[in-house]
A and B are shown apart, each in its own frame.
Chain A
Amino acid sequence: MKDGVNGVALGVFIFFFLAVTVLGFLAARWRRAENEHSLDEWGLGGRSFGTWITWFLLGGDLYTAYTFVAVPAAVYAAGASGFFAVPYTILMYPLIFTFLPRLWSVSHRHGYVTTSDFVRGRFGSKGLSLAVAVTGILATMPYIALQLVGIQAVLDVMGVGGGEDTNWFVKDLPLLIAFGVLAAYTYSSGLRAPALIAFVKDTLIYIVIAVAIIYIPIKLGGFDDVFAKAGEALGQANPATGKPRGAVTPPEAGQWTYATLALGSALALFMYPHSITATLSSRSREVIRRNTTILPLYSLMLGLLALLGFMAIAAGVKVSNGQLAIPQLFEDMFPDWFTGVAFAAIGIGALVPAAIMSIAAANLFTRNIYKDFIKPDATPAEETKVSKLVSLLVKVGALVFVLTMDKTVAINFQLLGGIWIMQTFPSLVGGLFTRWFHRWALLAGWAVGMVYGTAAAYGVASPTQKHFGGSSKEIPGIGEIGYIGLTAFVLNVLVTVVLTVVLKAVKAPEGIDETKPGDYTADSGDPDVQVELPPATAGSAH
């Protein structure tokens, strides 16, 4: 690591940061509907976004700063096994192609803002809806915390994080400022802020990746050299375990893990509240379908980004913390001013998802805990107020989390969050296609999946950690090593199916379904589907 502060890079970074801040506050005036005090307006951007804005928003939302830092870091650490992020994002699109349009339609017919809204309406069960909401909030919190870790990595490499011996306040000040600004414009502009900032973020990211993938291999002597050197470095035995660090292709034994991680992660991603928030903010069903055909452009970028992990190995980047590998590679390879651009891309890349995630978590709290259990007669204006406040609280919580606890805690929780959120899949996606499942069976299946997943993850040890050392473990009955989340999900489905049969046999009360089959295919232009919030009358349509 270079000593001292990288002045030029820092200057460029601050320039972009300021530009984005101005944009964030201006966003409040962008495409505003008349009724600004409704949750649809603040929390879903008026449900008005077209294909391109949705594309930027979803891309900015799903491909987070943490992704940019963590995926190449995983490749840097272990080689091929870290590349599972690519098949994962490939599988995601055919999957969401089938169910997201249905969710969009039913949500527009009934004014659902969150997935829990839908689950409550479909199964007539506040308990199940609460389970989905709590899972969503729990899974999102550490994810927000990890965005901070992403910013921290960049600040560290630029030399502004200070050393271990600096006063904690000075050390964390840049992070505090960044988050204070983020919190302020999310509060005032809602989902419009990240939507607008996502344009800047993604443009920067695409430029940086395009330059990096051409410029760095040329400097390192071509891809042949990169992979030859990386293969050599990965093949060396780790002194702690006596096994090689990794390989350029996954060994026979790692293939189950690779496939289950890809499939499990693909199933989980669109269960996250922030993915759904970005989806529901789109204007029509077609916008979503069209997006599943253009979003893969991001997967391509992710693949190129993952290759940077090998370049970091080949370039001989040595860092104590794998997360710093890519920022360090940029600083070593690029001229200072472009390093600043690259770091700004990562930093802003953290702000967009952090904003959307905090809005999504706040919506869940407001709609499915506050309104359902605390104040059933809350007006739309009150809902918006609560949501805005909670979005602040969520961010402060994440900040405290990162500043007071070790980074590994956030990473462990993120790992658990992925396992947890997948357990809401049967209620949500199952519910979108059939009403056959019984609500109590779904709740029981969810509970079993949560408990198994947590216990299994707790029991995984790694050379550096006694618990939560990884996300894969032997699959009971098959004997191969697989992703815990997927195993828990299969258990969850089994329990749900068996209990549904039993509960139906004893004629347990089914709950009221407020949706009709036609709701799942409705599109904008159909009766009762609001295209955009009409002036002033929003909320009174039903």
Chain B
Amino acid sequence: MSETPEVRPPVVTPVRVIIALCLIAPFVAMLWVGSYAKVDPTLIGIPFFYWYQMLWVLISAALTMLAYKLWQRDQRARKAASGGAAR
């Protein structure tokens, strides 16, 4: 196998696991309704139920952003590894 010019990197790498976790986390947080279906603590008078979910809009946006950056790096690394000869 040392003869094959194309050494394929493994499909599952630590970086990709992190990407997957970033994308899955919002599902766990949002679908577990029992974890946030309460009034206290309130924020400027808004019950926890509402501000917590709005906070997750920001958290999930940040996580998706992180996944995007990691994915870009992953793809660039792979392109470099497979060599410019492909194109």
A residues sitting closer than 8 Å to B (CB atoms) are 80, 83, 86-87, 89-91, 93-94, 97-98, 222-227, 248-250, 252, 255-256, 258-259, 262-263, 289-290, 292-294, 296-297, 299-300, 303-304, 307
The distance in angstroms between the C-alpha atoms of A252 and B35, with both chains bound, is 11
The distance in angstroms between the C-alpha atoms of A225 and B44, with both chains bound, is 11
- The reply to whether A289 and B24 contact each other, CB–CB distance below 8 Å, is no
Residues from chain B with Cβ under 8 Å of A307 in the complex? 46, 50
- The reply to whether B33 and A296 contact each other, CB–CB distance below 8 Å, is no
- The reply to whether B33 and A255 contact each other, CB–CB distance below 8 Å, is yes
A98's contact among B23, B38, B50, B61, by CB below 8 Å, is which? B23
Residues from chain B with Cβ under 8 Å of A255 in the complex? 33-34, 37
Residues from chain A with Cβ under 8 Å of B38 in the complex? 249
- The reply to whether B60 and A90 contact each other, CB–CB distance below 8 Å, is yes
Given contacts A94-B26, A98-B23, 10 further A-B contacts (CB under 8 A): A80-B49, A86-B53, A89-B57, A90-B53, A224-B42, A227-B42, A249-B49, A255-B33, A296-B60, A303-B50
Within 8 A of A (CB), among B24-39: 24, 26-27, 30-34, 37-39
The distance in angstroms between the C-alpha atoms of A315 and B65, with both chains bound, is 39
Least CB distance from A482 to B in Å reads: 12
Residues from chain A with Cβ under 8 Å of B33 in the complex? 250, 255-256, 258-259
Given A87-B53, A258-B33: A93 touches B68 (CB 8 Å cut-off): no
The distance in angstroms between the C-alpha atoms of A463 and B23, with both chains bound, is 40
**Chain A at the B interface: mostly helix, strand, loop or mixed?**
helix
Closest B residue, CB atoms, query A304? B54
The distance in angstroms between the C-alpha atoms of A89 and B54, with both chains bound, is 11
- The reply to whether A91 and B44 contact each other, CB–CB distance below 8 Å, is no
B30's contact among A252, A262, A296, by CB below 8 Å, is which? A262
Least CB distance from A245 to B in Å reads: 17
Closest A residue, CB atoms, query B71? A289
**Chain B at the A interface: mostly helix, strand, loop or mixed?**
helix
The distance in angstroms between the C-alpha atoms of A45 and B66, with both chains bound, is 30
- The reply to whether A227 and B45 contact each other, CB–CB distance below 8 Å, is yes
Least CB distance from B45 to A in Å reads: 3
A226's contact among B22, B26, B45, by CB below 8 Å, is which? B45
Least CB distance from B73 to A in Å reads: 13
Residues from chain A with Cβ under 8 Å of B39 in the complex? 248-249
B57's contact among A94, A223, A226, A299, by CB below 8 Å, is which? A299
The distance in angstroms between the C-alpha atoms of A86 and B44, with both chains bound, is 20
Residues from chain B with Cβ under 8 Å of A258 in the complex? 33
Residues from chain A with Cβ under 8 Å of B22 in the complex? 94
Least CB distance from B51 to A in Å reads: 9
Least CB distance from A258 to B in Å reads: 5
Residues from chain B with Cβ under 8 Å of A300 in the complex? 54, 57-58
- The reply to whether A83 and B53 contact each other, CB–CB distance below 8 Å, is yes
A250's contact among B30, B37, B45, by CB below 8 Å, is which? B37
List the 9 closest A-B pairs by CB distance, nearest first.
Answer: A223-B45, A224-B45, A296-B61, A87-B30, A255-B33, A94-B23, A293-B65, A303-B54, A259-B31
The distance in angstroms between the C-alpha atoms of A297 and B67, with both chains bound, is 17
Residues from chain B with Cβ under 8 Å of A256 in the complex? 33
The distance in angstroms between the C-alpha atoms of A94 and B65, with both chains bound, is 10
- The reply to whether B61 and A303 contact each other, CB–CB distance below 8 Å, is no
- The reply to whether A94 and B64 contact each other, CB–CB distance below 8 Å, is yes
Pull 13 A–B residue pairs with CB atoms less than 8 Å apart, ordered by A: A83-B53, A90-B26, A91-B27, A91-B31, A94-B24, A222-B44, A248-B39, A259-B30, A263-B31, A292-B68, A293-B61, A297-B61, A304-B54
- The reply to whether A292 and B45 contact each other, CB–CB distance below 8 Å, is no
Given A248-B47, A248-B49: A296 touches B23 (CB 8 Å cut-off): no
